[in-house]
Structure 1
């Protein structure tokens, strides 16, 4: 029977039953042998002298010594409010998760008539689903190790069968991971225990990261979903995301065995994407900036020098110059969720630029690709935006199912880069290049949009 120890002074210990209402006739129904204290990987077996036992609790006289027994290779953790479904051959058995480790877990299942536990073939694999407040935390194939023999409620111990899972296409995780100094960490409330957990990060990328912990105290396993995790770069700078553990790698050294968990990002708010991408781009290239604040006069001067704003265009813009500057201020200073810009800059001088705008519900438009001097900066910003697209296009929050861009047919670089890609792909369902026309529509200063409509 489970009990909670009360504050103890001297050699007398009083415990209260975990269940507020104790069993009837407890004095005659039970015989005391010893009590156990869970100490992570060990259990303390205490051969105490019972003083009294009631429906509320039990009291002991403590001995001077007790016996410590090692339980296993890895620590077990008690769980809170985790529902379980065990599925085999179309039969579903509900239950609760009692405890888990990084290697196996224990569940208490219920057989609802006409179900019986004889329907479960313990020699065949089963499929198990963990949920917390209707959110799936884990699902996967498992093997039954042992079970008790009760008829209505039965305890099962099961083992995970997969050391890694396949999430999305492998090419999404080929991007380089970076080792940062100082070393970041991850902080999250564990989805199974509810306790705050912290680990060191060994590698960090835009779409995955690798965290490390000691094997005997490990708390993760492949397939586990972490609904809310903070990548903590410093106490004042962190990135929030939803992640899933996809693989493990165990390392042994003279000190202690450790386990490296490869974890993939499932979703991340667009503003969090900018924070992480900006950090990693600066690590990869100190001249690369993602959505950094830009002086508008410097930016417009760059567009003139790069030829993005040519005389005919400026003539049409000039009467509305202030409104254009207001729009650019919203895009480049306020950095809204619908806009991204990538800049290659050296000692305060902008050398390359490209932007993205969420043009339709699930479509982003690439525009204003420009560079001055050699093509190095122009190619650098294309690589920046390419990495961003590849890393975040699979996330729901990105709303990035399609990409579009536009350029003048007489502009040789985009015609060769974007047009060359279209021709090389040779698949109109994947990418097409279509001619469009535009015209300048001149509004009179006294005409309102309602009048135009």
Structure 2
């Protein structure tokens, strides 16, 4: 690594273009045959040439002026700025520094060429005069427009290059780039020599800019210039397809939209603005097509800021990586279809993209759309989702709950999503997800109008599954796990969620844990404090290790990961800040209940806005028994008395694990809840089960 740093100092200490570098601004003689052999020419008039010159002047771009050595078969190319031109006279001012005397003695003018999109104009004018500052030409009546196929390369600057082979690292820069070949210059630092490099073996190339990796991949050495201190290598990438993510059976659904969206970006290696049409797209990626002769994409290339623009003018931004490039010959001209994976995108932009994708599948499906809240509340009551006992809780806090749902449904929060199925403008089914722990999302509020012809409930279940499948790999989504609570006697969730866990038969992929549910009512007149030898402390790292040991012996599932209670996964500060940013409440307090300094139970007090979950499971206390021997109902009640002040109410819902602890301690359980947790790295098992259960399921 010290050699690499030393090389960096040597390479970057001067940006002046020296004479040896100038000879490689254009193609060397070794490259000329392949460059020339694939070119198509047509004649261009002087008037068209003058228009192009003035266009270059307007955009402060340069022309390339080529001189040929009088004795030897080599060219020297110098860049110059063209001045405004209105007749046959053209003046160009030099950009590159050069030895004027040597140029005059050893070289003669040969031609100049002007860039023109994917072509260039080759001009052979008459030289009227030449000086150290500028060169004057008389333009000919015509010139040639030359289209170059496949090996066209773009000049690059500021791209740091590392070349690796068999443990040796060479440092340098990228000179020019094409999708099929590119050229790098690397240096040696003693005791390195270029003889360490086997020209017949592949090398690994890494491109970076401003400490950001832009490309890495294996390449074949095509040729090099045999330089001693610095050597230029022409390289050809070996891979036409890479794996950005682990392969999976159930991939996301792709759509060919009409009219197709556009993607645009500044090419990360040579800075030119690129605009391409989208061939097809999903919530995880897209594919584009480009002419083979104008190809600029390469498998492994990272595009830090890609803009996706739809036909209505709306757009979103993401980071993408090219994962494959496949050439097709079924049209008049060969073209390359390139697949790009979305590797980073904001939550808001991602959910907007998913909204378009779900609508493309079924025009009745909506993701995080603006919701008529009156229609939503009508739906909840009509479906029986808000039953009389539940409404008692809602009625007492209805204004606060209405305000909370307005924020959740119409302020585009980054911590929640909802899925709605409509027919004739009427809500027929609904489901929602919410990020309730740092990297765990909760599935809840699944309801549908009961009708023999309404499959809306199954459709929104499918939507929520698609959402997870299209989101879990994105860093911004923080979706390592998904979970839900359901009553064991409720047939549908027991069949879908409980059935998936029983079918998968691996609690490290999908697990079920049963909780007792009751309410703790605080009575200040009769409240008892913890007796001697008992204390309630903040949780420490060793407590979470003890909890992990207990839970592994008790269940061996994913509850601790899903609830963010594992030793390496317990901080929720980022989530709390996300709730605060949209005006919602989210707190979590962890306590260790000890008897004679030994851990007896972990108590988690989740504090959130009332009604965030209509069963109020998000504003509840969770108790996990670790050592059952000393615990009693009175001890649990006394511990809860110390915690109830976080809720600002005298009654708090409580979840107790394991469910059998309630009966053993004499606590009257009102109901039981199953906690279902799924590891999103293994979604194929879930979709395989769901596909057998529901034949129409998409993913």
Report the equivalent of 2:561.
Answer: none
1:4 matched to 2:80? The reply is yes
- Which is worse superposed, 374-383 or 417-426? 374-383
- Which is worse superposed, 60-69 or 273-282? 60-69
TM-score after normalising by structure 1: 0.92
C-alpha displacement of 1:69: 6.3
Report the equivalent of 1:240.
Answer: 317
For residue 508 of structure 2, the aligned residue among 426, 429, 436 is: 429
Report the equivalent of 1:175.
Answer: 252
Report the equivalent of 1:148.
Answer: 225
C-alpha displacement of 1:235: 5.6
- Which is worse superposed, 175-184 or 334-343? 175-184
Report the equivalent of 1:412.
Answer: 491
Residue ranges of structure 2 left out of the alignment (5+ in a row): 1-76, 524-643, 651-699
8 A contact 2:150–2:294 mirrored in 1: no
C-alpha displacement of 1:386: 0.4
Cα gap change, 1:366 to 1:205, in 2 (>3 Å) = same
Cα gap change, 1:406 to 1:219, in 2 (>3 Å) = same
For residue 482 of structure 2, the aligned residue among 403, 410, 426 is: 403
TM-score after normalising by structure 2: 0.61
Write the distance in 2 (CA, Å) between the matches of 1:30 and 1:173.
66
For residue 99 of structure 2, the aligned residue among 23, 26, 30 is: 23
C-alpha displacement of 1:418: 0.6
Report the equivalent of 1:32.
Answer: 108
Write the distance in 1 (CA, Å) between the matches of 2:178 and 2:455.
51
Cα gap change, 1:205 to 1:69, in 2 (>3 Å) = closer
1:318 matched to 2:395? The reply is yes
Q: Say which SS state the counterpart of residue 272 (structure 1) adopts.
A: helix
- Which is worse superposed, 166-175 or 408-417? 166-175
For residue 99 of structure 1, the aligned residue among 176, 186, 196 is: 176
1:358 matched to 2:435? The reply is yes
Write the distance in 2 (CA, Å) between the matches of 1:295 and 1:329.
10
Report the equivalent of 1:130.
Answer: 207
Write the distance in 1 (CA, Å) between the matches of 2:460 and 2:118.
52
- Which is worse superposed, 72-81 or 267-276? 72-81
Write the distance in 1 (CA, Å) between the matches of 2:393 and 2:81.
81
8 A contact 2:431–2:461 mirrored in 1: yes
- Which is worse superposed, 281-290 or 294-303? 294-303
1:140-168: per-residue Cα shift (whole Å, max 9, x none)? Answer: 00001011122122211100101111121
Q: Say which SS state the counterpart of residue 406 (structure 1) adopts.
A: strand
Cα gap change, 1:11 to 1:205, in 2 (>3 Å) = same
C-alpha displacement of 1:449: 5.0
For residue 87 of structure 1, the aligned residue among 161, 164, 167 is: 164
Write the distance in 2 (CA, Å) between the matches of 1:427 and 1:68.
66
- Which is worse superposed, 172-181 or 157-166? 172-181
For residue 295 of structure 1, the aligned residue among 364, 372, 377 is: 372
Residue ranges of structure 1 left out of the alignment (5+ in a row): none
C-alpha displacement of 1:34: 1.1
Larger helix proportion, structure 1 or 2? Answer: 2
Report the equivalent of 1:187.
Answer: 264
8 A contact 1:186–1:201 mirrored in 2: yes
Report the equivalent of 2:358.
Answer: 281
Write the distance in 2 (CA, Å) between the matches of 1:211 and 1:27.
46
C-alpha displacement of 1:27: 5.2
Larger Rg, first or second structure (1 or 2)? 2
Size of the alignment, in residue pairs? 450
1:274-301: per-residue Cα shift (whole Å, max 9, x none)? Answer: 1011111111111111011222232222
- Which is worse superposed, 55-64 or 239-248? 55-64
Alignment of 1:62-77 (within 5 A): 62-64=139-141, 71-77=148-154
- Which is worse superposed, 221-230 or 234-243? 234-243
Write the distance in 2 (CA, Å) between the matches of 1:282 and 1:378.
17
Which structure has more relative contact order (CA 8 Å, sep 6+)? It is 2
8 A contact 1:26–1:54 mirrored in 2: no
1:55-83: per-residue Cα shift (whole Å, max 9, x none)? Answer: 33434444555567665434322223211
